[in-house]
Structure 1
């Protein structure tokens, strides 16, 4: 059974509450990670804990245990004159911005107004409950339960 510290491989199919797929390992190698190490969202770690190899199950992760709520402070109304005039902007377009410290982050164009562009720096899955169909493929590594003298 999967426990914290185990390295596992899992196939997954991630869906939003409306049934739309946002990610899947189909046609790729299974996702490999160490349980409890912070490599995946907390609800995913909790969802695989206790599974056995070959087991399939569906988990639902509330947004608070996934990518958190949408933060309105991360939505910025940027004047159009801050963009190159030849740049063709479209709703849903990802862009990379830099803050005053030179740190880069991704934003998404969410609205094009007459004089400004609305940019959202929230994770695209923020505020969304996620459902995953899981299949545990392998458990490897991890610490042994019994240590031989």
Structure 2
């Protein structure tokens, strides 16, 4: 039996963990249900998928992701200043609080309070992992050829 390598269209089952280098683990499937997806279906960042190419069942790897390969660089333009009066008077605002906003298309957009002043609130709409160097650890459990659609 041939050991199938990860390639476009293969079905993959794996455990992974994602963490900030020198910091906390952000997400992990180790100790739980593995992630299963088809290579190229958009489940993973393209830069992560590229690092998986050619691996086969049993492979264990740890990759470093620079910001441009992960969630991008932080954009100062994604930090917005709002008048305090735009928030309910009884709302307790503190740094780190995540607030859900609606963008122009009525899509939910989370923002993190980064500063609270007497008359203003600064909200950061950057992805929380933007600008971070990340460690992506993976254990490939299985790789199989995708079934032909009939």
Q: Answer whether contact 1:5 1:143 (CA < 8 A) is retained.
A: no
Distance 2:86 2:47 in 1: 39
Matched, 1:80 2:84: yes
Residue in structure 1 matched with residue 20 of structure 2 by the alignment: 16
Count of residue pairs the alignment pairs up: 144
Within a 5 Å distance, the mapping from 1:40-55 to structure 2 comes to: 40-55=44-59
Q: How much has 1:142 moved relative to structure 2? A: 2.6
Give the unaligned 5+ runs of structure 1. Answer: 145-149
Residue in structure 1 matched with residue 61 of structure 2 by the alignment: 57
Distance 1:134 1:101 in 2: 36
Q: Answer whether contact 1:76 1:120 (CA < 8 A) is retained.
A: yes
- TM-score (ref. length: structure 2): 0.87
2:8 to 4, 7, 11: 4
Q: How much has 1:143 moved relative to structure 2? A: 6.6
Give the unaligned 5+ runs of structure 2. Answer: none
Q: Secondary structure at the match of 1:46?
A: helix
Distance 1:141 1:50 in 2: 13
Deviations 1:46-105 (A, max 9, x none): 121111101101111111111111121111011111000111122111111123443321
Q: Answer whether contact 1:42 1:66 (CA < 8 A) is retained.
A: no
Distance 2:147 2:67 in 1: 31
Residue in structure 2 matched with residue 107 of structure 1 by the alignment: 111
Distance 2:39 2:66 in 1: 19
Q: Secondary structure at the match of 1:58?
A: strand
- TM-score (ref. length: structure 1): 0.88
Distance 2:24 2:107 in 1: 32
CA RMSD of aligned residues (A): 1.7
